[in-house]
Copies of this chain bind each other. A is one copy, B any other.
Amino acid sequence: MKREIDLDLKQRAQKVLPNGMYGHESTLLLPQSYPQFFSKAEGAYLWDADGNKYLDFMCAYGPNVLGYADARINEVAVAQLEKGDAMTGPSPAMVELAEVMTDMVSHADWAMFCKNGTDATTMAKTIARAQTSKRIILVAAGAYHGAAPWCTPMPSGVIDEDRAHIQMYDYNSVKSLEAAVAEAGDDLAGVFATPFKHDAFTDQALPDPAYAKRARELCDQTGALLIVDDIRAGFRLTRDCSWELIGVRPDLSTWGKSFANGLPISALLGSNSTREGAGSIYATGSFWFSAVPMVAALKTLQILRESDYLEHMIALGEQLRAGLQSAADEAGMGFRQTGPVQMPLFLFDDDPDFRTGFAWSEAMLRRGIYVHPWHNMFLCQAMTEADIDLTIAAAREAFAEVKQARTSLEPHPVVAAMFASMAAE
């Protein structure tokens, strides 16, 4: 595979971007042959700066739910761009979007729109404190709720006070949650939960309904707000808040990746019982009221309501899971697929430093399939059965290749250093 342009861009980036890149799309913690820069994206496919083409199971880490550069979305976005985007006030589309989202999401009576997922989770935390006049926020250990100082997973530059009154519990553990709530006493403002456990570097886990229901009960008993962080999973599990699937309704829910098919917008939705707190806080951003992402969201949500995108993604996800399991079994590789089929994570048995997963991912990449070795992936509406067949065929070759090379694989230097530094702490 050609890598000249990407390597040249990486060298130039070393000069003008910290570490050459930052944030979740940095390839620093990916196999070394992974391209950093992309020139084109269409449907389920990506082209890197050198023109290599990949079937993309990351979907921009979530935003791509229908397909990249979807003509239905781009048409309304371009029309609105010509009428007005960032203006001195919002367009009427903002009201319509709030009406549509509060209509689709059962618990929601009001909406606030913002840009980052972190904006939505930070507002949720602040509203929980404003609404309850209490301080303690419970989050599940290892869960990702954004990258502000109160929640970023790599706390350089973060001071102790940034995380004051943020307490941990273990996801899916009723006992741990009950203990954390008891510990919080009469100072509990809110409880965060992702709709399922989708922490990086570890097997995913579906929510235990007993845990989710207990979270609701404990919030009802204490007056704390239950916050479902649906930023990553929202509208990929159901056409409502994800915990509706297990009959648990939060007070606040946060949204962000998928609902405008890649146009920049996130949201916080709340029930009437939180309206006063929501109305009391001041949070804003230069581009929060821009019209283009709102009309893109309206069109995306219409398609989500009217199409079988979800059933299609689940069917493809089941095809993929079964096919990969057969291929792994044939190769005699211990291969774990966890989480909902439409948001899979692939990990290898006996692979503590991820060298097998990295080698397998790299072998998939060489075959034109972009998979991630430690972060959950995403399916999208634009994928087809033929794409999944291609993926399974590539996986069969990749399993064989990695099995043969397994004894000579080296650990990834940056990942190894990261684990060493975590172990030393």
Contacts and interface: CB of A to CB of B under 8 A. Distances in A.
Contact of A117 (B35, B41, B159, B286): B286
> Which of A95, A129, A263 has the largest number of chain B CB atoms within 10 A?
A95
B117 A116 contact: no
A130 B293 CA distance: 34
Contacts of A126: 149, 156-158
A116 B116 CA distance: 8
B16 A99 contact: yes
A17 interface: yes
Interface stretch (A19-27, A339-347, A355-363): A19-27
Contacts of A111: 16-17
A114 to B, nearest CB: 8
A94 interface: yes
Interface stretch (A56-64, A176-184, A330-338): A56-64
Interface string A66-95: 001100001001100111111111111011
A407 interface: no
Copies in the complex: 2
A81 to B, nearest CB: 6
A113 to B, nearest CB: 9
B287 A86 contact: no
A373 interface: no
A229 interface: no
Given A115-B116, A152-B282, A283-B23, A88 B12 contact: no
10 contacts: A12-B99, A16-B98, A39-B84, A60-B88, A63-B287, A126-B156, A126-B158, A154-B281, A161-B161, A257-B286
Given A63-B86, A86-B264, A147-B282, 4 more contacts: A23-B288, A60-B87, A85-B263, A148-B148
A282 B95 contact: no
A297 B154 CA distance: 29
A59 B88 contact: yes
Contacts of A37: 89-92, 94-95
A178 B93 CA distance: 49
Contact of A370 (B15, B69, B88, B290): B88
Q: How large is the interface on A (under 10, 10 to 19, 20 to 34, 35 or more residues)?
A: 35 or more
A119 interface: yes
Contacts of A102: 16
B287 A264 contact: yes
A23 B69 contact: no
Contacts of A117: 285-286
A18 B278 contact: yes
B82 A287 contact: no
B62 A286 contact: yes
A231 to B, nearest CB: 8
